[in-house]
Each structure stands twice: as C-alpha cells, then as structure tokens.
Amino acid sequence: MTEMVYGTVRVRDSEPVLPKWWRTIDKWSLSCILILFAIGILLGLAASPPLAERNGFEAFHYVQRQAIFGTVALIALVVTSLMSPVLVRRLAVVAFLVAFVALAFLPIFGTDFGKGAVRWYSLGFASLQPSEFLKPAFIIVAAWMMAASQEIGGPPGRLWSFFLVMAIVLMLAMQPDFGQACLILFGWGVMYFVAGAPMFLLLGMAGMVVLAGMFAYNNSEHFARRIDGYLNPDIDPTTQIGYATNAIQEGGFFGVGVGEGQVKWSLPDAHTDFIIAVAAEEYGLVLVLFIICLYASVVVRSLLRLMKERDPFIRLAGTGLACMFGVQAMINMGVAVRLLPAKGMTLPFVSYGGSSLIAMGISVGMLLAFTRTRPQGEIGDILRGRLR
C-alpha cells in the first residue's frame, strides 16, 4: 500500500549486510544500551555477593549469570536490529502466539517462587517469565492491526487490538502482576493515541482503569497491601522500601564509596528491583542522573527518528516500544524513591534477570531495526508536496 501511494521503486541493494547495518543504525542509542549493560555488571559486582553468600554460591555467581544472560541479550539485540521491518513483524507474530499460550497456561504449570504471584515457569537451571517476551511482541502485533485499520477497506484493527489488550491485562491481573498489566496497557494507549484515537475515548479508558484499580484494591489482598504501604506516611525501616529510601539518602551527591554501601546486605532484591538504591548509595546522585540521561537519550532519539518515518506500522510500533522502554525504567526508579507503589519491575539492562534481559534485548533490537535510516523522503516533505 505504501509503495502504491508514494511510488517507491524497488532497487537491488548490493551493499553487504553488516556495513549497511552499521551505517544505518542509531549509534548513539546503541552506545547508551551498551553503557547501561556495563553499569549493570558494575552494580552487580556490588549488589549480588551478599545474596550469593546467603544462598551458598560463589561470591560472583549472579554476576557471572548476568554476564551470560546479557551476552545472549546483546546478541539477540544485534540479530534483531539486522532484520527488516517485515521480518521483525513476522517474528513478533510467532513470538506473540507462543508467549500468549504460555501466559494462559501459567495458572496450571507456573510457579511463584514464594513471592505470592504465579509469573514464572521453572526450568530447573533457570526460570522463564512469559510476560517479558509478550510485551514487545504484543506491541508489534497491535501496531500492525492499527496500521492495517488506516488502509482503505482495512480491517477494524483498533477494535481487535483493544480486545487483545484487555485479554492480556486480565490474564496478568490474575497472576497477579499489575505492574506488567499497566505497562502493556500504557504501551497500547500510546500507540492508540498516535494512531488518532479520540480524546474522549482515552479519557473514558482512563476512568475504566481507575475503576479497575478500585475493584482490585477491594478484592486483592496483594494489591491492597502494596497500595496501603505506599499511602502510609510512615515508612517501616525494615521493609524493602525503607531500606532503599535510607540508602538513597545516605548516598547523597557523590555516594559513600565503591563497595562501602550497606543496603545490599539487607535487601533481598538489591540486584534486581532495587538495583538503583545500590547505585545511589555507593555512587550517589551523579550516577543516578547519568543513568536517567542514558534512558532518556534512547527514548528521545528514537522518537525523533520515528517522526521522520512515513510507514504507519513502523511509526506506531517504534513509538510503542520506545515509550514502554522508558516507562519501565521510570517505574523501577519511581518505586525505589517511593513515588510509585511497589511493582516488581526490573531496570532495563541494569537489573539482574534472565527473561527480562533477553526479552529487553529483543525489544530494543526491534526498536533499532525500526529507527534505522532508510532511503525515503521525510514525512514533512510529503505533506508539503501535497499542499502545493
């Protein structure tokens, strides 16, 4: 359809794959991701030894595993970013079907590892969290549906995507995993807004979210406990939020020094959900601001490049992936400083985790594939041409 409208002519491309990839990739965003991964390894060296000692492993057991998972994630990132948008879409459709089925069977075959939420499959040597892989795949599938609905005689893709996101949110809420449910709903909402959704419809959906939150508060002890803890003006110093808040205060501007932090000995999730507290205590506000700038750079640069994209599918999918990436980082850090209720969400490329690292590598690889430079006129040029 795009070729028919804008008259694109296929030309034979004889340029080798890797040189073309390096020439067209967003090198600044790729560099920011590599720096974030390096920071994750650095913080893992500080945060994981206490946990390894408690579990009877070698001091750097979790760091070694993070390096292995991270290497797989970076390989997945590069391989995915080499793909064309059409190939990315096909891969996402298959991944979505597999992850959706895996998510549906979690109540039967899944486990909670003693954390009160059935989110994982135990593989013996590792665990698998289907929702991590479902997120990027769903964004691509929903963007495809929305883009198809904009074509003349196209299917009702927006409506289909709405029913799909509602089914996913319900399954995640049953685990319960309200954090992932909100993140997926946010990513879908951003794409729906960019696709031209009426404002009153978005406001109505926001009202539905509030009503759903009230229902969950009254019927889910897990959800109510986290909300009550967030709203309580007094912070229990023996809770994870209490330890994290104290660590951030102790760190100050420049931190207490490398290896001198104490929060890692108290927090059971210091290497995952509360890794930013370790960074703030040992390296201070300087490192935290640097990490925030890295995430912001990836999101802003991706959105700026997508603004020049004229293919609706690429524009929608890339926007959803970029915004979901940035919001996940914001939620993780917001929980640590008590701006948001506890969510159990990792910090992309910095927190320890197999499923989250590899899935995030695939997700950012898709984003880099969509933001690669392509031989096309900018959308502004097209609009100006129509006005003449």
CA 134 to chain centre: 11
Per-residue pLDDT at 337 exceeds 50: yes
pLDDT-based confidence at residue 379 (cuts at 50, 70, 90): low
pTM recorded for the entire structure:
0.88
Per DSSP, the three-state class of 144 is helix
pLDDT at res. 387: 45
Mean pLDDT rounded to a whole number for the chain? 84
pLDDT at res. 54: 81
pLDDT at res. 8: 46
The pair of three-digit structure tokens given for residue 359, joined into one six-digit string: 């899935």
Q: Which of 40-54, 85-99, 127-141, 225-239 has the lowest mean pLDDT?
A: 225-239
Helices (H), 12-156: 17-24, 27-54, 61-81, 85-104, 106-109, 130-149
Per DSSP, the three-state class of 386 is helix
> Which pLDDT tens digit goes with each residue over 34-90?
999 999 999 888 888 887 888 788 888 888 999 999 999 999 999 999 999 999 999
Q: Which amino acid is at 139?
A: I
| Backbone phi and psi for residue 331, each to the nearest 5 degrees, phi listed first | -65, -45
- Segment 183-200 mean pLDDT: 87
Between 25 and 125, where is the model more confident? Answer: 25
Between 4 and 322, where is the model more confident? Answer: 322
> Which pLDDT tens digit goes with each residue over 144-155?
999 998 888 888
Helix (H) / strand (E) element for 323: namely helix 312-336
SS3 content of the chain, % helix, strand, coil (to 5): 70, 0, 30
CA 84 to chain centre: 21
pLDDT-based confidence at residue 9 (cuts at 50, 70, 90): very low
Per-residue pLDDT at 388 exceeds 80: no
DSSP string, 154-197: ---HHHHHHHHHHHHHHHHHTTT-HHHHHHHHHHHHHHHHHTT-
Would you tell me how many other CB atoms lie within 10 Å of the CB of residue 18? 10
User: Do the beta carbons of residue 89 and residue 147 sit within 8 Å?
Assistant: no
| Backbone phi and psi for residue 58, each to the nearest 5 degrees, phi listed first | -65, 160
pLDDT at res. 326: 95
- Segment 188-215 mean pLDDT: 81
pLDDT at res. 68: 92
What is the share, in percent, of the chain residues with pLDDT greater than 70?
90
- Segment 294-308 mean pLDDT: 95
Q: What is the end-to-end Cα distance of the chain in Å, rounded?
A: 23
pLDDT at res. 31: 96
Per-residue pLDDT at 376 exceeds 70: no
Helix (H) / strand (E) element for 369: namely helix 354-370
Q: Which amino acid is at 66?
A: Q
